[in-house]
Amino acid sequence: MHVEITDSHCHLDFPDFAGELPQVIDRAVAAGVTRMVTICTKLRSEPAVRAIAEAHAPVFYAAGTHPMSVASEPMASADDLIALAAHPKFVGIGETGLDYHYTSDSAEVQQTSLRVHIAAARQTGLPLIIHARAADDDMAQILTEEYRDGAFSCVMHCFSSGAALARAALDLDFYLSMSGIAAFPKSQELRDIFAAAPRDRILVETDAPYLAPPPHRGRRNEPAYTLHTAQRGAEVMGMDWPEFAAQTQANFDRLFTKAAAYKGTAA
């Protein structure tokens, strides 16, 4: 049985893949990864990320300013992001969010940037892609406040935060995305959070080139390895493998409606 999955978050423009991208994408497709969303983390890189999506049928893209970069990059405007969303393969806003682990000194400007991205997600109808690290309380508060001001859809990418933030996100009908971290031996607490979440709110991703799941941990990650995380995810959720894969495909289609409706993909 041919099982299909989607890598909902990777970084194919990063130098780790230079000169090898066609082979990386081919390996992903061979592993059953029919779609990849490559994420632009600085808007000045958007043309290069867009070109990857244009050149490879299975690849879609999103763009935003990563919270660790907001202090050194120009502040994006909602209009900037809305203009990018006109591209047929542009399917999400971000990644944006809050990271107080390395960059807590820029917390205020990160919060401003996050609210700009939320405004763009609200206006375009595209899902917000959130990075959250060491900022659970502020993240839950801002997402909840902003949602009250106008609904938007959202995925907590590479979710590795606490149970309270998971609950806050799920209460807003947001999605949690499972990365290789969920397959690490010491991540039982995180697996428990996923196991308690609704099946229809789970996505899978690599965050490649980072966070390779076992058996590739410690080496460069790539979209093909979504398979290892997803197979572990099936165990965590108490589902058989084809059923879990189909569920995550349906979840991706429901959240990333523009990618689901796109004609001419390999999916």
Give me the domains of the chain, ranges plus CATH numbers: 5-261 (3.20.20.140)
Q: Tell me: the pLDDT tens digits for 188-235?
A: 999 999 999 999 999 999 999 999 999 999 999 999 999 999 999 999
Preceding omega of 209 cis (within 30 degrees of 0): yes
Give residue 8's pLDDT.
98
Q: Cα separation of 139 and 88, whole Å?
A: 30
Q: Cα separation of 110 and 115, whole Å?
A: 9
Model-wide pTM > 0.85: yes
The per-residue DSSP string of 245-264 comes to HHHHHHHHHHH-HHHHH-SS
Q: Look at the chain and count its residues.
A: 267
Give residue 224's pLDDT.
98
Q: Is 35 helix (H, G, I), strand (E, B) or coil?
A: strand
Does the pLDDT at position 265 exceed 80?
Answer: no
Buried-exposed string 47-71: b where 16+ CB fall within 10 A, e elsewhere: eebbebbeebbbbbbbbbbbbbbbe
Share of the chain above pLDDT 90, in %: 97
